[in-house]
Amino acid sequence: MLFLATTISLILSLLAKLAADTFLTSRISVLGSFAGFQYAVNKGVAFSITFPGYLQNILITIALLALAWAAWHAKTLLNRIAFGMILGGALANVADRMRDGFVTDFLQVGTFPIFNVADSCITIGVVLLCGEAILQWSRKKQ
């Protein structure tokens, strides 16, 4: 299940980035000014935070290796799916960055920073991991 979740997240993320790169030339409103599709580039990491020189690439590599190790050792089905989504999203952002030096973002909601499908996969995966951890913790307290 880890491989399937990683593959699906990776492919969907890359296809969405390709569509945004190809077709998104101006903002497309979905819910007025609140939400829409808006092309943006992100040279940094999460929330456009940038690090100097090669430090950013080193940090990304360390994070990917730690993530891959944790995903490989995931014990439950939900953990495998969650880690697969996180890994697929992360790999999609790395692949996009390797292509042209930045990550393509295109989903705009409110005042939140513009993001992409890969970021959504990462976020959903983290929420699933946190949800399972809370459930396990509450079961142990009973």
**Which residues carry out catalysis?**
105, 119
Map residue 42 onto helix, strand or coil: strand
Strand order in the sheet with 103-109: 28-31, 35-42, 103-109
Q: Which residues contact 38 (CB under 8 A, 6 or more apart)?
A: 24, 27, 28, 106, 107, 108, 114
